[in-house]
Copies of this chain bind each other. A is one copy, B any other.
Amino acid sequence: MEQDLVLGIDIGGQSSKLGVVNARGTIIERDTFSSKGLNDLDSYINALTSSINALIEKVGGKERIKGIGVGAPNGNFYKGTIEYAPNLTWGRDKDGNPTTIDFANIVSEKVGVPVILTNDANAAAVGEMTYGAARGMKNFIEITLGTGVGSGIVIGGYVLYGHDGFAGELGHTTAVRGNGRRCGCGRTGCLETYASAIGVARTAREMLESQPDRASSLRDIPLEEITSKDVAIAAANGDELSKDVFKFTGTILGRSLADFVAFSAPEAIVLFGGLCKAGDLILKPTVEALEANVLTLWKNKVKVIFSTLDDSDAAILGAGALAW
């Protein structure tokens, strides 16, 4: 039987999403399961292989599956490992510390199909190149603006992995020097602390506190409960302070993008993830700051565009595309 399908898996802290993908990029079967209660590796792997096997059965057996592609936090493409991922409750050692899991080998042995693994932002970049806004592009940077900020850098049609498999951590480059925000990674001033959903909420809180006399519909929400979604809704409804939050966010992001361009000279930068829902509110200041800060030779040359992939499918499609 022809190997005309791949299986893409998107592993997150809360849940895992699986999809069987055909050559045209359509997800023909899917499943999702929660990580809740799966607190050790064996339990998780059992739940995962059950889900995989059920899907494979549905589409007519593993003879049709060319391979399994996995997008996982801290996924290492070279080794097929997940290394020290802080948000995976089942990825810890006996003392409860995040550890290294030989993930691709374990799953491949259990299921009997080749498994390839990468991190989630790289999977999104592969999905973008195969089915999304970067089709036909050989050099672009995918920036994922979600809870955190991730990136997948594509060079000559291939994802950049570097010497150790972890290249492309642009969320942890320095956006603000000196008095930058403290980041969960231990550094300060990381792009992630400004251009993520959490960063937007933080900026909103800071602006509300530092401009106490300024009116804003965000003041109806308890300060500590404001989310980036609240800010986006308020901005879309014309709230000036909320618009300024996105302007600030886009300015920080665009300045960083100018430096990224000097590194790899991409044809385009593709923005992906929840923050993109803000549309022009985030895009305009980002492009303005990029153009104001980029070296003359790249002015008006590098496109900044939104992903055309569906948020929840991107990692499945990207991980699946890896397996072709």
Contact = CB atoms under 8 A, between A and B. Distances in A.
Interface of A: 83-84, 138-139, 153, 155, 160-170, 172-174, 176-178, 185-187, 255, 258-260, 262-267, 293, 295-298, 301
A295 to B, nearest CB: 5
A169 B163 CA distance: 21
Nearest to A180: B177
B174 A176 contact: no
B155 A160 contact: yes
Nearest to A266: B163
Given A139-B163, A185-B295, A262 B173 contact: yes
A264 to B, nearest CB: 5
16 contacts: A83-B297, A160-B264, A162-B266, A163-B265, A163-B267, A164-B298, A167-B263, A167-B264, A168-B262, A168-B263, A169-B295, A172-B262, A173-B259, A173-B262, A174-B293, A185-B295
A175 to B, nearest CB: 8
A170 B267 contact: no
A186 B298 CA distance: 13
Contact of A169 (B162, B173, B262): B262
Contact of A265 (B155, B161, B259): B161
Given A173-B259, A174-B259, A162 B265 contact: yes
Contact of A296 (B160, B185, B263, B293): B185
Contacts of A173: 259, 262-263
Contacts of A170: 262-263
Contacts of A293: 174, 187
A167 B155 CA distance: 11
B176 A163 contact: no
A174 B255 contact: yes
A168, A169, A178, A296: most-surrounded residue (chain B CB, <10 A)? A169
Nearest to A162: B265
Contacts of A161: 265
Nearest to A296: B186
Nearest to A139: B163
Contacts of A258: 174
Contacts of A164: 265, 298, 301
A259 B185 CA distance: 14
Contacts of A178: 177
